[in-house]
Amino acid sequence: MKKICLYFEIHQIIHLKRYRFFDIGRDHYYYDDYENERSINDIAERSYVPALQTLIQMCKDYPEFRVAFSLSGCGLEQLEFHAPQVLDLLQELNATGQVEFLCEPYSHGLASLANEESFAAEVKHMSDTIYEKFGKRPTIFRNSSLIYNDDIGAQVAAMGFKGMITEGAKQVLGWKSPHYIYSCAADPRLKLLLRDIKLSEDITERFSRQDWSEFPLFADKWLDWIASTPEGEDIINIFGELVTFGILQPLSSNILDFLKAIPALAKERGIGFALPSEICEQESVGTLDVPYSISWVDEERDTSCWLGNVMQREAFNKLYSIADRVRVCGDRRIQIDWDSLQASNNFRFMTTKPGYQYRGIYDSPYDAFTNYMNILGDFIARVNNLYGGADNEEIDGLITLIKNQGDELEAKDKEIERLRKKLEKYNPTEFEEESSEEAEPKKVAKKPGRKPKAKKE
Residue 339 has pLDDT above 80, yes or no: yes
Strand 235-241 vs strand 191-195: parallel, antiparallel, or unpaired?
unpaired
Q: Is the peptide bond between 250 and the residue preceding it cis, with omega within 30 degrees of 0? A: no
C-alpha atoms less than 13 angstroms from C-alpha of 315 in its C-beta half-sphere: 30
Given this model, what pLDDT does residue 68 score?
A: 98
Strand 235-241 vs strand 163-167: parallel, antiparallel, or unpaired?
unpaired
Given this model, what pLDDT does residue 380 score?
A: 96
Mean pLDDT (the chain) is 90
Residue 343 has pLDDT above 90, yes or no: yes
**193 — pLDDT class (breaks 50, 70, 90):** very high
Those residues whose C-beta lies under 8 Å from the C-beta of residue 53, and which sit 6 or more positions away, are 89
CA-to-CA distance for 221 and 214, rounded, in angstroms? 9
C-alpha atoms less than 13 angstroms from C-alpha of 137 in its C-beta half-sphere: 9
Residue 429 has pLDDT above 70, yes or no: no
Query: How distant, in Å, are the alpha carbons of 44, 178, 180, 226 from that of 275?
Result: 25, 16, 15, 17
Given this model, what pLDDT does residue 406 score?
A: 60
Tell me the β-bridge partners of 45.
none
Q: What is the mean pLDDT of residues 68-89?
A: 96
- Secondary structure of residue 427 in the 3-state scheme: coil
Q: What are 216-250's pLDDT values in tens digits?
A: 999 999 999 999 999 999 999 999 999 999 999 99
- Secondary structure of residue 69 in the 3-state scheme: strand
